[in-house]
Amino acid sequence: MLSSDRVHHIPIELTVDNKYYIGQYSFESLARVIAYYSQSALCYTDDGKAVLLGSQFVHNDVATSLPPT
Q: How far is CA 8 from the centre of its chain?
A: 11
Say if CB 51 and CB 44 are below 8 A apart. Answer: yes
Q: What is the pLDDT of residue 60?
A: 55
Q: What is the pLDDT of residue 3?
A: 57
Q: Where are the domains of the chain?
A: 2-63
Say if CB 38 and CB 54 are below 8 A apart. Answer: yes
pLDDT in tens, the chain (69 residues): 555 566 667 788 998 999 999 878 999 998 898 888 888 888 787 788 887 776 555 555 544 444 555
Say if CB 25 and CB 36 are below 8 A apart. Answer: yes
Q: What is the pLDDT of residue 50?
A: 80
Q: What is the pLDDT of residue 11?
A: 84
The architecture of the domain spanning 2-63 is: 2-Layer Sandwich (3.30)
Phi, psi of 54, rounded to the nearest 5 degrees: -95, -50
CA 41 to CA 66: how far, in whole Å?
26
Q: Identify residue 22 by its one-letter amino acid code.
A: I
